[in-house]
Structure 1
Amino acid sequence: MNWDWEKLSEQKRRQGSPLPDPGRFGEDLGKKLSTFKPRLPGGPKIAVLVVLLLWAASGIYIVEPDEAGVVQRFGAYVLITGPGPHYHLPFPIETVKTPKVSQVRRVEIGFRSVYGRSGESLQNRSVPEESLMLTGDENIVDVQFSVQYQIANAVDYLFRIDHPEETVKSAAEAAMREVMGDAQIDSVLTSGKLKVQNDTKVLLQTMLERYGSGIDILAVQLQDVHPPKEVVEAFKDVASAREDKSRFINEADAYFNDILPKARGRAAAILNEATAYREQTIRRAKGGADRFSALRTEYDKARDVTRERLYIEGMESLLSTPELEKIILSDEAARQAVPYLPLGQLPPAAAPGDGAGRTEAPKADPAKAAKGGRP
């Protein structure tokens, strides 16, 4: 340093300019500062006042609509504030925490979602140490599920438990293992998933209330339930067989529900037709009997006239029927002609061993055998 100073002195001397004295330079700087300080109005008092104002203003805080303001005084809970601007005593006297009480939080158990650069979920990474569970019938099942929850009590959430997310995760895994331990694997893989979700939700909520966590469980959702990879194919075959069974039962029920009303309707129609036929036959027979009784009364009063009228009505009915084949012979022609037998209308001969083994002679048709006179 001495050599440098001497070299610099020699250089300045040659140039003709005096060198500054280091000691004199410090003294000049102190004098300038002493003359500058009195020029500030108030001096250090203003600076202290500004610092105090900034410290007091640090107590202003705003609570968002989805938050709750929890004020602490020397670390102890004092009060809770709602949305809007508020004020608390500056740090370190009071502090405030604003947890989001309306935010729906989600915890994954048995798997972890893997997200891409744009934020979309690409795939789920399995976590076997969390997902493998034992059912009530001693079968191993791989259960992946998620839990959705909200903050119900901000004070309990902040001060009663440490690491709330880890607490919910551990409690949810314990609750699911307990529910699975009481269930059968067939029910878990097929129709019992909804019951498993509801039972786990109730049990998890009970556990967290016992902890005083201030957490409200919104839903427990099963993401994937399947047997271990070693036996998954066999379980798929069983599940397919059960689905086929259910489908066949549904088809049979549908056919039953379709054919039974039709059969009942047909049976009711047949019964109505039979009832109508019965009433018709009874009324017709009763009318015939009444008519015969009336004719009997008239016949007793005038037998010849009644006989003649009945004969005329019978012949009129026979002759006015176009479908009926009629052969009319006079008395003289009937005495000369061979008696007419309707051989083409004879019934077939009885089979051997049938009754008496003989056939009855056909009855003569009175219209075909009419001779033109009275019988």
Structure 2
Amino acid sequence: TGDENIVDVGFKVLWRIKNTRDGINDYLFNIQEPAATVKAVAESAMREVVGGSNIDAILTENRVSIQNDVATLMQTTLDAYRAGIEIAEVQMQRVDPPAQVIDAFRDVQAARADQERIRNQAEAYANQIVPEARGKAAQVLEAANAYKEQTIAEATGQSQRFTKIYEQYRNAPDVTRERIYLETLEKVLGTNNKIIIDSQTSGSGVLPFLPLNDLNGRSAAPAARTGGN
């Protein structure tokens, strides 16, 4: 074969005498042993065509093309001999590696089949996993863009708020400073427990402690009961 392998080919050639006066004359007077001539030409043509083909093509998908090429080459050769013979058909019947290496060849074919199967599985896995990865990447990108827009909006709002406060501070610094101080105290003390100590009662024997949280809880409980009645 063309890829330096050896293959045994069994084939059949269907031929007939050309149905013309010249064809009959050529068949009768130009060749002595027509069957032997056809056999020799067929073997030579098959060797030439097989010698230009790869073994995989010979064993599998390319048989029809090989048969046609052999028939064409045989017809050309017999016409050059003026044999008066027309090739009707070439049929490849058995194509095998030599018996001595057929087991090893089958192992190679099985390995190639496994290789093709694994490649197909890998491609199928890639076709499944790549879109999922792209979808996750797009999702992460959208979340990042949303966080970016949110952060920019918050920063813009804060900067605008600071600018407005600064404008008010320039117009009335004392009032603005006091308002900011009170708002800050409200935020800090609004959610914490508070204890008020009067420094002026120090040494008077009166405990300087006012439990505002307890008092608020006691005053809220009767109000709740009253509302229920």
The residue type equivalent to 2:8 in the other structure is: D
Match of 2:71 among 204, 207, 218: 204
Question: Do the aligned residues in 2 keep the contact of 1:141 with 1:225 (CA within 8 Å)?
Answer: yes
Give the fraction of aligned pairs with identical amino acids, expressed as a percent. Answer: 39
1:181 aligns to 2:33 (yes or no) = no
With over 3 angstroms needed to count, the CA separation of the structure-2 counterparts of 1:216 and 1:185, relative to structure 1, is closer
| CA deviation profile, 1:19-44 (whole Å, cap 9, x unmatched) | xxxxxxxxxxxxxxxxxxxxxxxxxx
- The aligned counterpart of 1:249 is 119
Report the counterpart of residue 100 of structure 2 in structure 1.
Answer: 230
- Which residues of 2 match residues 336-351 of structure 1 at below 5 A? none
- Structure 1 window deviating more from structure 2 (232-241 vs 205-214): it is 205-214
**Judging changes above 3 Å, is the alpha-carbon distance between structure 1 residues 202 and 230 closer, same or farther for their aligned structure 2 residues?**
closer
CA change 1:146–1:203 in 2 (3 A) is closer
The alpha-carbon deviation at position 292 of structure 1 amounts to 0.9
CA gap of 1:175–1:330, structure 2 versus 1, over 3 A, is same
Q: Is this contact kept in 2: 1:136–1:182, CA < 8 A?
A: yes
Q: For the residues of structure 1 that align with 2:46 and 2:97, how far apart are their CA atoms?
A: 16
Partner of 2:160: 290
- Give runs of aligned pairs for residues 1-375 of structure 1, distance below 5 A: 135-136=1-2, 139-145=5-11, 155=20, 159=24, 162=27, 171-185=41-55, 188-189=58-59, 193-195=60-62, 197-209=64-76, 211-212=78-79, 222-307=92-177, 309-310=179-180, 311-312=182-183, 315=186, 319=190, 326-332=191-197
1:177-218: per-residue Cα shift (whole Å, max 9, x none)?
1122234445544xxx43454244235324415645795867
Kindly state the Cα deviation for residue 287 of structure 1 after the two structures are TM-superposed.
2.1
**Which fold has the larger relative contact order, with Cα–Cα distance below 8 Å and residues 6 or more apart in sequence?**
2
Q: Relative to 1, partners in 2 of residues 1:307 and 1:233: Cα closer, same or farther, differing over 3 Å?
A: same
Report how far residue 235 of structure 1 moved.
1.8
1:230, distance to aligned residue in structure 2 (A)? 3.0
Q: Any idea what SS the aligned residue of 2:61 has?
A: helix
Letter in 1 for 2:197: E
Given residue 287 of structure 1, which amino acid in structure 2 is its aligned partner? G
Gaps of 5+ in 1: 1-134, 320-325, 338-375
Query: What's the TM-score once normalised by structure 2's chain length?
Result: 0.60
Query: Between Structure 1 and Structure 2, which shows a larger proportion of helix residues?
Result: 2
Partner of residue 349, structure 1: none
Q: Partner of 1:194: helix, strand, or coil?
A: coil
C-alpha distance 301-257 of structure 1, shift in aligned 2 (>3 A) = same
Give 1:289 deviation, angstroms. 0.8
TM-score by length of 1: 0.40
Give yes or no for contact 1:149–1:217 (8 Å, CA) kept in 2. yes
Distance 1:228 1:302, change over 3 A: same
The answer to whether the 8 Å contact 1:157/1:214 transfers is: no
> Alpha carbons of 1:258 and 1:169: their partners in 2 closer, same or farther (altered >3 Å)?
farther
Say whether the 8 Å CA contact 1:155–1:214 is kept in structure 2: no
Larger deviation, residues 292-301 vs 153-162: 153-162
Contact 1:137 1:183 in 2 (8 A): yes
- Alpha-carbon RMSD across the aligned residues, in angstroms, is 4.3
Q: Deviations over 1:100-128 (max 9, x none)?
A: xxxxxxxxxxxxxxxxxxxxxxxxxxxxx
More strand as a share of residues: 1
Q: Which has the larger radius of gyration?
A: 1
**Distance across 2 between alignment mates of 1:150 and 1:283:** 92
Structure 2 runs not aligned, ≥5 long: 29-33, 200-206, 210-229
